[in-house]
Structure 1
Amino acid sequence: MEPSVPRRRTGGRSARVRESVLTATLDLLSQDAAAFSVAAVAARAGVHETSIYRRWGTRERLALDALLDFSAEHIPIPDTGAVHGDLVAFGRALGHYLSLPLGAALTRIMATLDTETAAAFSASREDFWTRRFDAASAMITRAVARGELPPETNTLLLLETFIAPFHFRALHGPTPLSPAEINNLATLVLNGARSR
């Protein structure tokens, strides 16, 4: 059974075409990233290849846009007023994303690309993580401004330390992190950042 993709809001023909193309892209990526192509996306979405090339340019940029769109929809950056609350809310959204059939499939595929496919998508994959970390860093920037974390906090290391257990569990663990574990993980990571 193919993973389902949630419907997005539409707003005119251009928005409908974009939604159809991104949905087809995610479906195909989740099945076989190595076989993913603009032609396959166009056929599944019912649009011309030229329309896709005109808007996205390359299959890699198309994949990046689809992954960013899906991630932004399912893993929003919270603002609870406190960094611990932000991390817990972010962790719960990330855990839910990784529990979705499509989220889990995309995560496995991006982590296990063969050498040739990984090389083709390396720039887009790096761009994806850079943009996601840039967005998530707002939680840490606000915490530093509020005095919850020291100014010398290594934002990237803190975020990587926090999200790593989620991805490890999704790829290798028997069960996802529980709400209590997410709460404890946020406390552990923040205590480590404050102890410097």
Structure 2
Amino acid sequence: MTNTKPRSGDLRPGGRTREIKNNVATSVLELIKSGNIQFSYSELAAASGVHKTTLYRRWPTHIDLIRVAIEIHNQSFSLESKNNWHDNAEAIVRSLADFLSDPTEVAINRALLANPQAAESLVSVEYWQPIQNLLKSMVVEAQAAGELAEDIDPQTVIMTIVSPLIISTTLGFGTKSKETLITQLSRLARSYAYSP
């Protein structure tokens, strides 16, 4: 298990440390997009311009590098909350569809699918947790507002929406267009609405 204690180079917000982190994360994502999830530290040093010594000191394992890249990448996910579950259902589906269709995200998911060891190390905690927490909070708010039944498991609602999108974007939309899938999943998400 990786030591999560901040290293000295990670303590200063902004400045050179932030620049290096962003540069390394961007380079890792580019390597993954090219199909190279098993990149070496030498390859990353050449791609990022950051010396191998610095890379090893701040990110001592390969998984640490993938984590920081995904952390930066996940910041691109945005979702504007609406006033009710009916509108939020479509907003959630549409935001996820756009995010999961991004070439970087597709490459990450394909790489993790092809590398179960990396997937096992990431999926349980870091990879989806911030996004899942946001989606869960929207489901819980809808329950508190009486729009969704209290006995519905928020995780079930989320997975009902996310799973088809991950499969469709990772493997390709096939005969169904992205817009058609968004429409159908929005209807499915709305079907969770409370009916007395």
State the TM-score, normalized to the length of structure 1. Answer: 0.78
Q: Is residue 25–residue 41 contact of structure 1 (8 Å, CA) maintained in 2?
A: yes
Following superposition, which runs of at least 4 residues in structure 1 exceed 4 angstroms of deviation? Answer: none
2:120 alignment counterpart:
122
> SS of the residue aligned with 2:80?
coil
| 1:195 Cα deviation after fit | 6.0
Q: Tell me whether 1:54 sits opposite 2:57 in the alignment.
A: yes
| Counterparts of 1:181 and 1:118, CA distance in 2 | 27
Aligned residues: 181
| Counterparts of 1:191 and 1:120, CA distance in 2 | 35
Greater helix share, 1 or 2? 1
| Counterparts of 1:43 and 1:155, CA distance in 2 | 44
Matches within 5 A, 1:46-195: 46-73=49-76, 75-111=77-113, 113=114, 117-127=115-125, 128-170=127-169, 171-174=171-174, 175-178=176-179, 181-192=181-192, 194=194
| 1:181 Cα deviation after fit | 4.3
State the TM-score, normalized to the length of structure 2. Answer: 0.78
Give the direction of change, closer, same or farther, for the CA distance of 1:44–1:184 in structure 2 (3 Å limit): same
Note the aligned Cα RMSD (angstroms).
Answer: 2.6
Identity of aligned residues (%): 26
> SS of the residue aligned with 1:35?
coil
Larger radius of gyration: 2
| Counterparts of 1:96 and 1:120, CA distance in 2 | 24
1:27 alignment counterpart:
30
| Counterparts of 1:47 and 1:146, CA distance in 2 | 50
